[in-house]
Amino acid sequence: MKKLFTISLLLLSLFSYTHAAEDKRYLAEMTMTDITGKTYDVRGTEQGLNIQGLEGKVIFLEFFGHKCPPCLASIPHLIKLQEKYKDTLAIVSIEVQGYTHEEVKKFAEEKGMNYIVVSEERATELVNYIQQRAQWRGSIPFLVAMDTKGDVQFVQAGMLPEASLEELLSQLSKTAK
């Protein structure tokens, strides 16, 4: 009887562990809606994020502000990178200095931002998730760079020069293949 109880307990433990491992595949499920009205399902994984529709691309997830001088200076660099690498790179910028969805839309149009732009009010869960997972305390610009599998490979507070962003893209394109 003792042996049967031990085996049952062992099997129950194994089942519980397997079930827990399956549950951890996605740590969080959330959405974000860009300025064009497109909604993206976003799932937090053990190593990064799975953003529906951006699979297989290097992702630069950038948190920026409309009043932040380094953020404003980086916009032309991001525009150039998005044009040059449109098939392999997805830039997602989330404005976190309080602009409404409509204000962010107008701002992005004025600046000619050719990549995915989102207001914080349409990505609140994602912003909170990144604050927790990346220990982000609000400094901007803040970049989370993911390889083609969605695994976070680089996190940076502060502006990176265009050449550094291009080198990072090159490295991340190679890492996950």
The CATH superfamily assigned to 25-175 is Glutaredoxin (3.40.30.10)
Residues forming beta bridges with residue 146, ordered by sequence position: 59, 152
CA distance 18 to 171: 34
Residue pLDDT, tens place only, 141-158:
999 999 999 999 999 999
Average pLDDT of the residues in 58-79: 97
- Global pTM value: 0.84
Q: What 3-state class would DSSP assign to 43?
A: strand
Alpha-carbon torsion, ordered 35, 140, 51, 59, to 10 deg: 110
Domain map (residue ranges) of the chain: 25-175
Q: Is the pLDDT of residue 132 over 80?
A: yes
116-119 and 89-95 beta bridge pairing: parallel
Q: For residues 84 and 106, what is the distance between their CA atoms, to the nearest angstrom?
A: 24
pLDDT value at position 25? 57
